[in-house]
Amino acid sequence: MPCVRSRCVTQPGLAATGDREMERKTVSTCPFCGVGCGIVVHTRDDRITWVDDDPANPSSRGMLCVKGRFGIPFVQHPDRLTTPLVRRDGELQPASWDEALDLVAERLLDYRGAFGSFASAKATNEDAFVQQKFVRLVMGTNNIDHCTRLCHSPSVEAMLVQLGSGATSNSYIDYEEASCLVVVGCDPDSNHPVIASRMRKAVDDHGTKLVVVNPKRIDLASRADVFLQPAPGTDVALFNGMARAILDEGLEDRGFIAARTEGFEAWRAVVMERTVEEYAQACGVDPHALRLAARLYARPPARRGLPADERPGSCLAWGMGITQHTHGTDNAHALINLALLAGQLGRPGCGISPLRGQNNVQGCGDAGCIPDSLPGYQPYRDDVVARFEEAWHAGIPREPGIKATDMVERIATGEIRAMYIVGENPLLSEPNLAHAGDLFRRLDFLVVQDLFLHETAELADVVLPACSFAEKDGTFTNSERRVQRVRQAVPRVGQSRADWEIICDLARRMAPHVGVDPGQFAYRSAADVFAEMARLTPQLRGISYERLEREGGIQWPCPSPDHPGTRYLYAQSFPRGLGKFVPVRQAAPAAELPDADYPLILNTGRVLYHWHGGTLTRRVQALLDQVSEVPVTIHPGEAERFGIADGDEVVVRSRRGRLTGRAIVTDAVRAGSVFVPFVKLRESAANFLTNNAYDEPSRIPEYKVCAVRVEKKRPRDTALTGGQPTASRDR
Ligand SMILES: Nc1nc2c(c(=O)[nH]1)N[C@H]1C(S)=C(S)[C@@H](COP(=O)(O)OP(=O)(O)OC[C@H]3O[C@@H](n4cnc5c(=O)[nH]c(N)nc54)[C@H](O)[C@@H]3O)O[C@H]1N2
Ligand SMILES: Nc1nc2c(c(=O)[nH]1)N[C@H]1C(S)=C(S)[C@@H](COP(=O)(O)OP(=O)(O)OC[C@H]3O[C@@H](n4cnc5c(=O)[nH]c(N)nc54)[C@H](O)[C@@H]3O)O[C@H]1N2
Ligand code: SF4
Ligand SMILES: [Mo]
């Protein structure tokens, strides 16, 4: 079976056994990224022996990347939490489930009103649905959020305003059927490898045109017809420039604009304020290349094999390079304006894709783990709230809750005094970790529910052991809105339990004290939970476990049991009616820019072999072997300026902290910047350096730009990592 990219690794701990007949096989879904590849988990004597692809899965079509194929040994790693832990005499010590849950129930009852919860985009839809029900019904608050806040919240914000829905509009098959792909601020080869593979197939087999926009020369750029390498934080200028070029050459889709949109003239007036040359200069790209990119997107030449009567389509895909800025929502508006201008929505082979990150970040939002709406993005409107209250036989709050990044900041004001964190590790994933750590330490009461005792769990008052995707039944929803089954393949590790079961047990203990019927948390199975979620969520109403069993994954919206599911959205109209142009002007590129003391821009992101802070992938030897130190990628010009050679151990410092890593000198990064993934290796982690400055509408942190300096590590710089400011003048 093909392994995406040829970078396969050997698999200690998952060595294939000779006699395959003795093995059991369980069809499930990859627990890493939002592509949602189908996997087959092979087990023998209750141990996972091997993971293979699922050729029948329509999202992955027999492909897997290195993490799906070789990254699963974290499931049965000896570090897994096996019992609840309760802090006694300052130490986390093993406790029974009854002791731990009684304590959590008793303490949380005191904090209704000053409570917040993070849900997990790694856990299932069923886990997420039960958690938001607990927070709303038992804790009486809408203070629930998850990592979407750190991820695509600006995209969702912009799409809701302009279109009325926050999901990817198309499917992976549309990338293969497109005549042009525009890939912006993301690195699919490392972060969505199977999507990258499908995009390469389009380019190689069908002659699809490719435009890549990224300050870093990512691998996919080698296949691009146009590669634009803008200065970080200047995407509004770049996309307004493309829009201006389309208008100058009359390539806009006038029929689409007239029939399907509003606000065109006001938006056009703003775009016309500058010329293509001025826009190109503002973002540091060649104006001819900008014009060419605009032509390819608006009117691509038909790809090979396209029926003569079909209009060639363009897909726009983007990632964190767009969103993780103090003007992330403006960036997303600029992209959606472009799609409306060119009419590249609502047909096969076109559409817009904010590439979703975590395996179930789509589903966690769909299930209602966001502060500003109920399951299915339903607003806190009287009729909607009444429907939930009728189903749940008790009142729920109508005030929007506090967003994740604000919950952390509002620990300082006492608005948040207790937190329940499920399957997230904010003390590696939030920006400015020294600051975040100070805040988390000020909580009165912290519960963490996870597979491992990670950095955040170490501060908790109670730690609850959750079981992984391989030990439970459920569903994940991937980046193309496909709801897919997750099936138990191995027995649970230790006393760990599924997240939804733990929360139900806790909720039943607390319910009688807050006027809620404990029967509301008495589900018999994951299927039971899904059935309730589908009943209350219009776009999932037609999906059931029976159908998923029979038909495989189904793409929402699927409003009725006989509906086949939806490949692409917006064929006839947008959920808000007309698509809305929103004028945006380029703001200052970032909150903190280079100066004499910190002359470089730090761009943070990911590498193929690691997952976020590394809680999972540091425990997979085969992946750790590939990348075991923090790579610091630096431009040759800067390397020379700061006396750094390829392979040197280097120290990177910002006003907030420092890390030690290994230099990779390459002109793939833009002059003036360094790229560091945010995985923690050898105690070094990029988020000690990043800036807790936020985009106003979405409250996403500016992970993609802050000012740093880099120097070769000197012998006396031992164990340089952490969050202390590095020079007295910085204090
Ligand atoms: N291997 C692996 N895969 C993952 C993950 C992982 O941790 N490891 N995480 C998953 C998750 S949750 C997510 S959200 C996705 C993220 O997937 P991506 O969005 O691909 O994530 P990043 O690595 O953050 O890459 C963002 C890209 O933006 C570029 N960039 C930086 N600044 C700018 C800018 O100002 N403008 C533009 N146009 N580009 C810019 C960077 O150079 C980088 O290539 O990956 C998912 N997949
Ligand atoms: N500098 C910088 N920082 C970033 C980013 C960046 O690009 N740059 N990207 C941001 C983005 S896009 C994201 S999404 C966040 C990610 O931030 P997090 O979500 O905090 O990161 P993960 O390490 O994926 O955390 C997932 C946790 O879930 C646990 N887990 C796995 N399965 C289960 C389960 O079934 N149940 C339970 N209870 N736990 C489970 C794992 O052990 C792990 O601890 O980081 C953000 N931080
Ligand atoms: S592309 Fe994503 S979903 Fe597919 S195998 Fe890799 S990590 Fe898993
Ligand atoms: Mo993400």
pLDDT (tens digit, 9 = 90+) per residue, 186-226? 999 999 999 999 999 999 999 999 999 999 999 999 999 99
* Mean pLDDT computed over 120-140: 98
Which pLDDT score, from 0 to 100, does residue 714 have?
86
Closest CA to ligand 1's atom 10: 357
Quote the ligand 3 centre to 515 CA distance (angstroms). 44
- Most ligand 2 atoms within 8 A of CB, residue of 32, 451, 468, 602 to mutate: 451
Distance CA 206, CA 223 (A): 13
What is the residue with the minimal CA distance to atom 45 of ligand 2?
A: 429
Indicate if ligand 2 lies below 6 Å from the C-beta of 151: yes
pLDDT score for 476? 98
Separation of CA 92 and ligand 2 centre (Å): 23
Distance 149 CA to ligand 1 centre (A): 15
% of the chain surpassing 70 pLDDT = 95
- Ligand 1 atom closest to the CA of 34, numbered from 1: 46
Of ligand 3's listed atoms, the one at least distance from the Cα of 39 is: 5
469 lines ligand 2 (CB under 6 A): yes
- Whole-angstrom distance, CA of residue 263 vs CA of residue 333: 13
Give mean pLDDT, residues 144-165.
95
**What is each CA distance from 49 to 20, 81, 467, in whole angstroms?**
10, 21, 18
Instruction: Report whether pLDDT(6) > 80.
Output: no
Which pLDDT does position 185 carry in this prediction? 98
Nearest CA to ligand 2 atom 31: 122
- For residue 354, the CA-to-ligand 4 centroid distance in Å is 11
Place of tokens 């002059």: 671
In this structure, which ligand is nearest to the CA of 147? Answer: 2
Residue 5 in this model has a pLDDT that exceeds 80: no
Note the ligand closest to the C-alpha atom of 81. Answer: 2
pTM of the model: 0.95
Rounded to an integer, the average pLDDT of 223-233 is 97
- Counting ligand 3 atoms within 8 A of each CB, the residue from 1, 28, 37 with the most, and so the one to mutate, is 37
Sequence spans of domains, the chain: 4-76, 102-146+360-539, 153-355, 600-717
User: Is it the case that residue 109 has pLDDT exceeding 90?
Assistant: yes
Q: Is the pLDDT score of 726 beyond 50?
A: no
Do 153-355 and 600-717 fold alike per CATH?
no
CA nearest ligand 3 atom 4, residue:
37
Q: Whose CA is nearest to atom 40 of ligand 2?
A: 423
What integer is the mean pLDDT of 433-438? Answer: 96
- Counting Cα atoms < 13 Å in the Cβ hemisphere of 39 gives 34
- CA neighbor of 313 nearest in space, from 343, 338, 355, 334: 343
Q: How far is CA 601 from the centre of its chain?
A: 23
How many Å lie between the centroid of ligand 4 and the Cα of residue 425?
Answer: 12
Closest CA to 210 of 230, 227, 193: 227
pLDDT at residue 720, as a whole number: 53
pLDDT of 297 reads 98
The alpha-helical segments, DSSP class H, found in 14-117 are: 66-70, 97-109
With the C-alpha atoms ordered 180, 186, 192, 193, is the resulting torsion angle positive or negative? Answer: positive
Pick the CATH number of 600-717 from 3.30.590.10, 2.102.10.10, 2.120.10.30, 2.40.40.20: 2.40.40.20
Q: Which residues line ligand 3 (CB under 6 A)?
A: 30, 32-33, 35-37, 60, 64-65, 67-68, 192-194
Which residues line ion ligand 4, judged by CB < 5 Å? Answer: 151, 357
* pLDDT at residue 723, rounded to an integer: 62
Helix axes of 153-162 and 328-342: crossing angle, nearest 10 degrees? 40
Rounded Cα distance, 268 and 253, in Å = 14
* Mean pLDDT computed over every residue of the chain: 94
Among candidates 222, 213, 211, which has minimal Cα distance to 296?
211
Residue 28 has pLDDT above 90, yes or no: yes
Superfamily of domain 4-76: ADC-like domains (2.20.25.90)
Q: 153-355, which class in CATH?
A: alpha beta
**Using a 6 Å CB cutoff, which residues line ligand 1?**
33, 151, 184-187, 190-191, 213-216, 218, 230, 232-233, 235, 319-322, 357-358, 603, 605-606, 608, 610-612, 704
For the segment 576-607, what is each residue's pLDDT rounded down to a tens digit? 999 999 999 999 999 999 999 999 999 999 99
Residue 38, classed as helix, strand or coil, is strand
Angle at 689 between CA 683 and CA 695, to 5 degrees: 135
Specify the ligand 2 atom closest to the Cα of 31.
32
**pLDDT, tens digit (0-9, with 9 covering 90-100), for 456-491:** 999 999 999 999 999 999 999 999 999 999 999 999
Radius of gyration over every alpha carbon of the chain, rounded to an integer in angstroms: 25
pLDDT by residue (tens digit) across 509-568? 999 999 999 999 999 999 999 999 999 999 999 999 999 999 999 999 999 999 999 999
Euclidean distance between CA atoms 230 and 253, whole angstroms: 27
For residue 236, the ligand closest to its alpha carbon is 1
User: Which residues contact residue 506 at a Cβ distance below 8 angstroms, ignoring those fewer than 6 apart?
Assistant: 101, 104, 105, 134
Q: Is it true that the peptide bond before 348 is cis, omega within 30 degrees of 0? A: no
Beta strands 673-677 and 631-634, pairing class: antiparallel
Cα separation of 518 and 507, whole Å? 7
Angle CA 32–37–41, to nearest 5 = 80
- pLDDT number for residue 413: 97
Fold adopted by 102-146+360-539: Rossmann fold (3.40.50)
The band of 136, judged by pLDDT with boundaries at 50, 70 and 90, is: very high
Whose atoms come closest to the Cα of 678: which ligand?
A: 2
Residue having the nearest C-alpha atom to atom 22 of ligand 1: 605
Q: Rounded to 10 degrees, what is the CA torsion of 162, 166, 169, 173?
A: 150
Chain centroid, CA 7 distance in Å: 24
How far is residue 731's CA from residue 729's CA, in Å, rounded to a whole number?
Answer: 6
Encode 673-698: b = buried (16+ Cβ within 10 Å), e = exposed: bbbbbbbbbeebbbbbbbbbbbbebb
Ligand nearest to the CA of 429: 2
Q: How far, in Å, from the CA of 686 to the mean position of ligand 2?
A: 14
pLDDT recorded at residue 715:
78
Nearest residue to 670 (alpha-carbon basis) of 602, 605, 607: 602
pLDDT of res. 13: 42
**Ligand 3, pocket-test mutation among 1, 194, 199, 486, most atoms within 8 A of CB:** 194
Do residues 293 and 254 lie in contact, with contact meaning Cβ atoms separated by under 8 Å?
Answer: no
